[in-house]
Amino acid sequence: MSEVFNLLDGALDREEEKPGYRNRRTQVGARLGAELLGATVYETPPGEKLWPYHWELGCEEFLVVVSGLPTLRTPDGERTLEPGDVVAFPEGESGAHQLWNDSDEPFRVLIGSTKPGGVYAAGYPDSGKLLVDAPSHGLRKMLRDAPELDYWDGE
C-alpha cells in the first residue's frame, strides 16, 4: 500500500531556527517515495518569513495554501493568500517570490517543484546574491551578483 501524508496535520520533522525565518517542514515528496518530484510542507509561525525573496533557474515551483493567511510578495506586488489558493512560480526573475506571516496564527503551505536535474541557480535580489548548485558534482556556491566580470577577466 502507498504511503499517505495528511497536509492538514501531518507531522513535520525538520526545523529552521534562523530568527526571522523560523519554520517547521517535512519533505513530503521524499517521504512518499517520489524521485522526480519535490514537495515540501512548511509551517510558519506569526511574524516570520519562510525564506528570502528569490527566483530560480532549473526549477519551477507551485504553492498550495493549506491553512492560514500567508502574505505573498512577487514582482507584481504583495497580496494575502487564503486556504485553497494555488500560485505558480516560473523560472527566472519573473517568478521571484517570498512568503511571510503577518497574521496571528501559523500558516501551512505545500510547495511542489520540478527537481533540478543538474545545475540549479537562484538569485536573491534584496541581498545581491547568486546561488549556484550542482549537487551531483559536489558544487554549491553562494556568490555576490556584482560586480560583474568580463569573460576574460584574469586570463
Give the range of the structural domain holding residue 39, as residue numbers without chain letter.
14-144
Q: What is the pLDDT of residue 2?
A: 73
| Joined grid coordinates for residue 120 | 540549479
In a domain, 151, yes or no: no
At 92-109, the pLDDT tens digits run 999 999 999 999 999 999
At 37-93, the pLDDT tens digits run 789 999 999 999 999 999 999 889 999 999 999 999 999 999 999 999 999 999 999
Going across the sheet that includes 98-100, the strands are: 77-80, 71-74, 98-100
CATH code for position 124: 2.60.120.10
In a domain, 105, yes or no: yes
Number of domains within the chain: 1
Q: What is the pLDDT of residue 4?
A: 87
Q: What is the pLDDT of residue 130?
A: 94
Alpha-carbon torsion (16, 21, 22, 26), positive or negative: negative
Question: Whole-angstrom Cα distance, residue 19 to residue 109?
Answer: 20
In a domain, 149, yes or no: no
Q: What's the mean per-residue pLDDT of the chain? A: 92
Q: Give the predicted TM-score (pTM) of the model.
A: 0.90
